[in-house]
Structures are given as C-alpha cells and as structure tokens.
C-alpha cells in the first residue's frame, strides 16, 4: 500500500469515526446493542445533520493546518484553537456544539495570556481524552524523526490542553502505534512496536510512576480482553485501550470504527481515535466512499489533508 493511502486513510478515518459517533454521544452500550450504528446517521444527541464532525476533528484539522508549516509554533496552534472556539474555524457548520471541560479551561487560560505550552491542566483529574483525540497528525508529521523527537512533539502539543504526564504518555504511545502502522506493520506488530518503544522511552520520571495506570495496555495482551471489560469513557487511558482493542479485534475499517462507536458513552472520540489507526492500517481506499461523500465541508477537508501530505 502506498504511504499516501495510509496518511489519507488515517486522517479521513479519524474524522469519519468522529462523525459516526456524534449522533449517539453519551448513549449507553445497552442502547447501542439494541440499536447498533451501522451507517452514517444524523441528528440524535447534538441535533446535527449526517456527516457532522465534532471538536475532535476540528482540533485535529487545526493541528494538521499548523503542521503544514516548516516549523511548529505553539502560538500559531493556540491561535487556531481560539479561532475554532470563538469563530468556528474548522467547525463543520460554523458553530461549536461540543467541547471538553479541560480544553475550554485551557483555551480561556491562553486567552488570558498564559503561554500555550503551560495552559493545559496538569492535575490527576485533568486526564480526559481531549489531547489524544487530536494527536494523530503529530505521528504522521514526525514519523521520520527519531522516536524521542516524535514523542517530545506529542507531549508539547498535548500540553496546550492536557499537560499531565498521563495524557502526554497516552498521546506518545498512540503515536508509536500510528508510526508502526504507517510503515506497514500489522496491528499486532504495531502494538508490539508501541510496547517496546514505550517501555524504553517512558522508563524515566515523570512517566515511570504512570505505569500502573497503563498496566493493561502495557501487558501486551489487550486483544484477549472481553468487550464487557473495555470502557469507552472520556478518560484518556480508557480511550487508548478501547481504540487499540477495536483495531486488534476488527477485520476492516468499517468493522473497527463501528465497533468503537457501538461501545457507547464517548462514541465520537472513541470512534475518532480508533478510526485514525484503522484508517492508517486499512488505507483510504477501504473507507466506505458514501461516508466520505456525506461529510460536511468535504472539499475543504480534502484540500487541507492533501496540503499536509504533499508538504
């Protein structure tokens, strides 16, 4: 498979996964079992038409945009995040209908003059999945760099909204998985690669003390976990676990991403995070084309993603 098919698959895959989850965000797994999502829906939780993405993809697209520049500038990324919050930049229909508490708090801090890389919450309770959901472009942009440079960038870019080592480490581990898939490793091999790299790099303060929280991810046998034991809450560790579990146990882009959404609860973000790595592995050509065609602002998204790839 061509690298282009993987890069486009990853980014489109994340946005489509988000849009599939938007209409059923906050619904229970029991409800999803009674009425599983099998296609792009509209309305529901946020009263949005089919193909509407949420904050996850808006912030991911801001990150794609800023990483098209020769050098990463935190101030520029912060400006794009504020443009989204205040003016609907990279929103699907011009307004913001979904935002996490940690992201809102951090962006208000930036507006008050706090330096972007010090804006994210660093408390134990500030470990929602709000930086993990937008981190994929970092893995793609820095895939050729030494792994410690890629992880350093993931931590810096997480810090704008999520500055705790647990959130940063979740982003770093996900980027390792993404890097492996980008270079053609199978999901099982990419998971092994993530464990090797992660265990090597994170064996230092302040990350070492986070190991117990990642015990199940780092155990190496996440694929043996039963669905009932996978949580799809907004906690960053749960989202990381759920997304890798969906990829390891699914056989197509469609199966992985629908599995993620049908876990219920934080459906858009689980869909987005799982959809990103599923798209990397199965490639753009395997994303059902009707889902792409239904997406809001399809040509704008295409233009930005193409610009990122050719950069």
* Residues in binding contact with Mg ion, number by CB under 5 A: 5
Closer to Mg ion at the Cβ: 174 or 201? 174
Q: 13, 14, 92, 98: which one contacts Mg ion (CB under 5 A)?
A: 98
User: Could you give the C-alpha distances from 223 to 187, 188, 194, 244, 246, in angstroms and in order?
Assistant: 11, 9, 14, 8, 8
| In the complex, minimum distance from the CB of residue 134 to Mg ion, in angstroms, rounded to a whole number | 10
| In the complex, minimum distance from the CB of residue 234 to Mg ion, in angstroms, rounded to a whole number | 9
Binding mask 108-147 for Mg ion (x = CB under 5 A): ----------------------------------------
Closer to Mg ion at the Cβ: 54 or 243? 54
Closer to Mg ion at the Cβ: 56 or 254? 56
Closer to Mg ion at the Cβ: 98 or 254? 98
| In the complex, minimum distance from the CB of residue 42 to Mg ion, in angstroms, rounded to a whole number | 16
> What secondary structure, in 3-state letters, does the chain show?
CCHHHHHHHHHHHHHHHHHHHHHHCCCCHHHHHHCCCCCCCCEHHHCECCCCCCHHHHHHHHHHHHCCCCCCCHHHHHHHHHHHHHHCCCCCCCCCCCCCHHHHHHHHHHHCCCCHHHCCECCCCCCECCCHHHCHHHHHHCCCCCHHHHHHHHHHHHCCCECCHHHHHHHHHHHHHHHHHHCCCCHHHHHHHHHHHHHHHCCCCCCHHHHHHHHHHHCCCHHHCCHHHCCCCCEHHHHHHHHHHHHHHCCCHHHHHHHHHCCCCCHHHHHHHHHHHHHHHHCHHHCCHHHHHHCCCHHHHHHHHHHHHHC
Closer to Mg ion at the Cβ: 16 or 190? 16
| In the complex, minimum distance from the CB of residue 56 to Mg ion, in angstroms, rounded to a whole number | 4
Closer to Mg ion at the Cβ: 190 or 263? 263
Residue with CB nearest Mg ion?
54
Determine, following the binding rule CB under 5 A, whether residue 268 of this chain makes contact with Mg ion. Answer: yes
Choose the binding region for Mg ion from 78-86, 98-106, 172-180, 240-248 (rule: CB under 5 A): 98-106
Choose the binding region for Mg ion from 30-38, 96-104, 106-114, 143-151 (rule: CB under 5 A): 96-104
| In the complex, minimum distance from the CB of residue 54 to Mg ion, in angstroms, rounded to a whole number | 3
Determine, following the binding rule CB under 5 A, whether residue 265 of this chain makes contact with Mg ion. Answer: no
* Gyration radius of the chain's alpha carbons: 17
Choose the binding region for Mg ion from 59-67, 95-103, 230-238, 287-295 (rule: CB under 5 A): 95-103
Q: 56, 65, 126, 241: which one contacts Mg ion (CB under 5 A)?
A: 56
| In the complex, minimum distance from the CB of residue 100 to Mg ion, in angstroms, rounded to a whole number | 8
Closer to Mg ion at the Cβ: 132 or 246? 132
User: Could you give the C-alpha distances from 226 to 47, 58, 189, 249, in angstroms and in order?
Assistant: 33, 32, 21, 10
The answer to whether the CB of 73 falls within 8 A of the CB of 149 is no
Determine, following the binding rule CB under 5 A, whether residue 266 of this chain makes contact with Mg ion. Answer: no
Please give the residue ranges that form the binding site for Mg ion (CB under 5 A). 54-56, 98, 268
């Amino acid at each position: 498979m061509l690298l282009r098919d993987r890069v486009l698959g990853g980014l489109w895959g994340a946005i489509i996964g988000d849009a599939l989850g938007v209409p059923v965000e906050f619904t229970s797994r029991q409800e999803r079992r009674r009425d599983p999502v099998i296609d792009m829906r509209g309305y529901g939780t946020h009263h949005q038409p089919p193909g509407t993405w949420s904050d996850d993809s808006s912030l991911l697209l801001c990150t794609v945009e800023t990483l098209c520049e020769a050098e990463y500038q935190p101030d520029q990324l912060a400006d794009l995040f504020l443009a989204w919050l205040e003016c609907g930049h990279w929103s699907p229909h011009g307004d913001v209908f979904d935002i996490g508490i940690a992201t809102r708090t951090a962006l208000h801090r930036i507006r008050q003059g706090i330096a972007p890389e010090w804006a994210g919450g660093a408390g134990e309770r500030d470990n929602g999945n709000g930086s993990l959901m937008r981190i994929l472009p970092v893995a793609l942009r820095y895939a050729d760099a030494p792994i410690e440079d890629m992880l350093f960038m993931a931590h810096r870019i997480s810090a704008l909204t999520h500055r705790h080592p647990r959130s940063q480490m979740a982003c770093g581990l996900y980027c390792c998985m993404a890097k492996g898939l980008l270079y053609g490793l199978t999901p099982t091999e990419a998971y092994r690669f993530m464990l090797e790299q992660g265990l090597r790099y994170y064996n230092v303060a302040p990350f070492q003390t986070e190991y117990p929280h990642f015990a199940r991810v780092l155990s190496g046998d996440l694929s043996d976990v039963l669905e009932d034991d996978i949580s799809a809450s907004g906690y960053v560790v749960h989202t990381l676990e759920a997304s890798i579990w969906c990829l390891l146990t699914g056989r197509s882009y469609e199966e992985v991403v629908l599995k993620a959404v049908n876990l219920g609860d934080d459906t858009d973000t689980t869909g987005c995070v799982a959809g990103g790595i599923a798209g990397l592995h199965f490639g753009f050509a395997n994303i059902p084309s009707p889902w792409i065609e239904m997406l809001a602002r399809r040509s704008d998204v295409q233009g930005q993603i193409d610009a990122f790839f050719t950069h």
